[in-house]
Amino acid sequence: MKRGSSLLNQHLMVDITQAIEHLDKGSVFVDVRSPHEFAQATIPGAYNIPILTEEQRIEVGTLHKQCSANHARKRGMELISPRLPALIGRVTALQQEFKRPVIVFCWRGGLRSAAMTAFLHLCGVPVFQLQGGHKAFRRHVLDYFEHGHWARMFVLRGLTGVGKTRILEQLRTQGWPVLNLEALANHRGSAFGAIGCPEQPGQKQFEALLWNELRHTSADDYMLTEGESRHIGRVMLPARLYAALQLETTLWLETDMDARIRVIAEDYAVEDLPAQAFIPPLNALIQRLGRERVSQLHELLAQRNWAALIRELMLQYYDPLYAHTKPQQRVEITVDPFASEHQELLQALGAIIEKASQRSADSGG
């Protein structure tokens, strides 16, 4: 029996399936782990109201290992007691705002979440503890990507700067189902992809965010997304999802070089960023381009000659790197990445979706 599980009646516990039903109904999820644990991974949408700080958690855990469970519990209560009214107040305010039950979890459904659930229950707050904690949620996500089903992926591809991401976001605003992998990864998927982006999530949190985007779709649905390598910065697409990106006919987008330069300059907001931000990724290209070429790129950077720098990066690095990614099964479309409408693209997309649906029907899928 897990530590803490005996503190609560079974009617105050929910398993992961029940918890996800609560999530879909708008219940408040409260992660009582330390800020450090929360930053590594949590359930999407959860609020972090730590019952112990990271240092306190380590202290109590050490007492449990070196002394006894009773020593650890006593010390935990000493640490929690002064902060208890404030903790309960924060959770109560959330529950009153959302008018839904509270789901409390810690790492594996142990003492931290059991104690918080018990305190809240005594105060009249509708509350449940997630059995198995975040560990149970993590197993659920892994099982989903191993055995689950999601929408078919219709993929926009093209050379760097063609405007794939901005076109996807335009289509999202028009009601098309879109999976923006770069937004979830906080990375543009290239050597310079981290510039100007928030810190990337860890792998576990990235997969949790992906799960949350895909879980309400089925194999009968479809989504639009952008072609990516399996690695997007430091995070990696689950194997079966990456394989799904390779199945359907690709929409290969093309536009002229001047438009591509403008897209990159705007997407990276180069005029607002310090030149120093570009130095490390430029230096990372030495092995591929050689010191002399990279030195020339540094000169353009020092001059803040953005158009020339972007053009040279396209010609010397990006285009040779990605030209081979053009799949045989594709429809090529010339686009204006700054247009508000993309009729030719939508017509081609509609034809691809219709053909794929007919193929699925013929195969009995």
pLDDT score for 1: 33
pLDDT score for 7: 63
What dotted CATH number matches 149-362? 3.40.50
pLDDT score for 176: 95
List where CATH 3.40.50 sits in the chain.
149-362
pLDDT score for 6: 56
Taking CA atoms, 108 is separated from 24, 50, 303, in Å, by: 22, 15, 54
**pTM score of the predicted model:** 0.91
List where CATH 3.40.250.10 sits in the chain.
5-142
What dotted CATH number matches 5-142? 3.40.250.10
In angstroms, the CA 309 to CA 302 distance is 10
pLDDT score for 169: 94
Low-confidence ranges of the chain (pLDDT < 50): 1-2, 4
**Which long-range contacts (C-beta less than 8 Å, at least 24 apart) are formed by 115-121?**
115/4, 115/7, 115/51, 115/76, 115/80, 116/30, 116/32, 116/49, 116/51, 116/87, 116/91, 117/8, 117/12, 118/7, 118/8, 118/12, 119/84, 119/87, 119/88, 120/88, 120/91, 120/92, 121/12
